[in-house]
Structures are given as structure tokens and as C-alpha cells.
Structure 1
Amino acid sequence: MHDLRGFFFGLTKQESKAPTPTILSAIQAAACMRPSVRISCATKRPSIALLVALVFANSSCFSAQYQPSVQEVLAALEKRSGIPETELQLLLGKCDASQSAMNICAYRDVVAADLVLQHTVARKIEQSPGCKASLEASTARWASDRARGCKQGAAKDYGSGSLAPMAESMCMTHELEQMTKRIERQRSCAR
């Protein structure tokens, strides 16, 4: 496991300080954020049934697609970053507090999207066991290209500036979401 502290903070394990524990509610609130739904109605009071229907229709929390739990994402983020859970909770609780917090929040989105992709691949292999080798090979090739492309794009746009890690993470999240959609739509083994 690589310690990603330098990626987010420019710190080593010895330089970081353990934060005070925070509650998980801020992370949970951020886990299912979606742009708000705007209702344009002739009346000032749309029906409750309409509002409830719109919330359910637009909420990823109620979609058929697998969504990792907050704890699952937090555990994977802790494992991948080497940052203790209490410190992650502090950073994730206030994503706009600092550039380091913004970077780790963007990386949280990468981890969540990667967990969704892993689940989608496993489900596809379960449905079509004969496709396992080709699916794993194509996913591995894609991951290498994605990482290189996102790193180059962030470097081109931000150089070695403090926004580069966040831009790279945002690119990776987008690419993971697109690959997940491709795999979900796939009907036969890729060649």
C-alpha cells in the first residue's frame, strides 16, 4: 500500500498530527448529494406526491445501481490513502476548509466510483463467467490509460500546483463512471 499523504498534504506519517474525532453525520450527508430539483409550477404549492416522486426519481440513494455505504468508502479510503479514519472524518466533514480537504474529498469520490466499478465488473462476471478474462484484461488496460490520461491532463492544466491532485481525481471519477456505464451496457464479451 502506498502512503498518499504526500499526494494530499505533502506530509509524511511522522509530520501529521492526529485530529480530534468527529461525527460521521457530515460524511453521511455528503454521500448522497445531488443537485437540487427545481420545480416550475403555475401554483406556489406543488403536491407532496409530486415532490416525493421527484426526490425518489432523482436520488442516487434509491437507484438500482449499487452504491457503496459511507463506511465502505471510508474504510477503502483509509486503506488506500494511509490516513487514519479520524483524520479522514475531519477532512471530509469540511471539504471546502482547505486545499488538502478538497483533494481528499475529490479522492473520496474516486474511491466510491471505483467501488461501484468493481461491483459492476463482479456482477458482469457472475452473469457471464466466460467473459471474465477478457473483461479483466480490458479493464486493466483501460485503468492504465485512464490514470496516465488524467495525470497528464491535470499536469497540463495545473502544472504541479495545489489544484492538480483534485483535477486528477475529478477526471478519474468521471472516467470510472463512464467505464461503469460501458460495462453495464455490455451484452457480450469484449474482443
Structure 2
Amino acid sequence: MTTSPTTAQPYVLVLYYSNHGTTKSLAYAIAQGIEDGGMTARIRTVPAVAAETQVAKPAIPEEGDLYCTMEDLKECSGLALGSPTHFGNMGAPMKYFWDNSVTVWLAGNLQNKPACVFTATGSMHGGQETTLLTMMLPLLHHGMMILGIPYSEPGLNRTNRGGTPYGASHVSGAAHDQPVTADERGLAIAQGRRLAIAAKALVNTKWQ
């Protein structure tokens, strides 16, 4: 996994926003799967949205993963997008990031590249599937190809705290104290591996 500046080596971008660390845990499991699938994983996050939207955030966070730039986004060979559920949708910081991706959309930089989505919720019926589905919408507008998790992954039938065919997920509990289970972690790794295999196959084709 890399958090280094842009290099010429193809990479899959793992872009996430996390409130309590659960979505971040899934992001790192997906990154492991990407690396297992033979691609470099580049992990990035987005800054919180300030109450006063005119207040600028530092370009480099004081701790944790680097903030994603439009350069990171447009140069990726594939994308894993994750956010906790906020009222059945992605969190405002991630939505704000995508609302400012018009230049990438106009240039068609993400067209025909594979992508997947993942999420975490505090409650069992907190909107996991609606969040996953609505996170797909900007990716479809960018012309990306969406990958889910096939039922050939046995963890989909075993897990009772998350995991869907739409993407990796986890129910962390009202106190956000429930760790990601082995099945959920396995599904996230499998999702990352599947994304890497697709990205690697497309890197040298006419579609990229």
C-alpha cells in the first residue's frame, strides 16, 4: 500500500471517509485485497466539511491518510469508494468531494475504469444498501464500471453484521464498538482483489 506522491506505476485508489474508524478498517482490508490481486493500492481520505464552508482546511492532515487530490482521482486505474451511512447516503465530506470533480468528469478521466463501493452503519437497518447504491451514482455519471461481490464468496451467506452483493459493509453498533468480523474482512479483501484483477486486465487495453 502506498501513501506516496503520484508515480508512473498504475494504482487502484481506495478513497474513504470515516467517522469512527470502521470504514477506514474496511478500506485497509480492501487495499490488502488490491495488493493480493497484483495492483498497488493508494489510500486516500477527504477532509471534514467545516461549519463555515469558506474556512479552508490544510492541504495535508496533521495525522492519518493524505487527502485525495483530483490528480489522485484522474490518474487511478480503478477506484474503491467508501463512506459511513449518513441518513441512507454518503457523508457530506465525500459528497462535497464528488461535487467538485466536474473537471475530471468533463475530461472523461474515469471512463471505462472499474470501481466498487463500501460502507459502515451504526444500526442493522441504518441504510447500508441505500448508501452503497447512491454512492454508485456519481461513479456511473463518470462512466465507471461498477463491481459488486458475487455469491461465490461464502461469507455473503454467513455474515450477520454486514456484507452485501453491492459492496462490503459492517454494522458497528450504536456505540461503534463492534469490530469488523472475519467474514466481513474476508469479503472486503475479496472485493479489493476482484477490483484489482479487473483494473489490471484493463490497464493495457484500448478502454484505458
Q: TM-score, normalised by structure 2?
A: 0.29
The structure with the largest alpha-carbon Rg is 1
* Higher helix fraction (1 or 2): 1
* Higher strand fraction (1 or 2): 2
Q: TM-score, normalised by structure 1?
A: 0.30
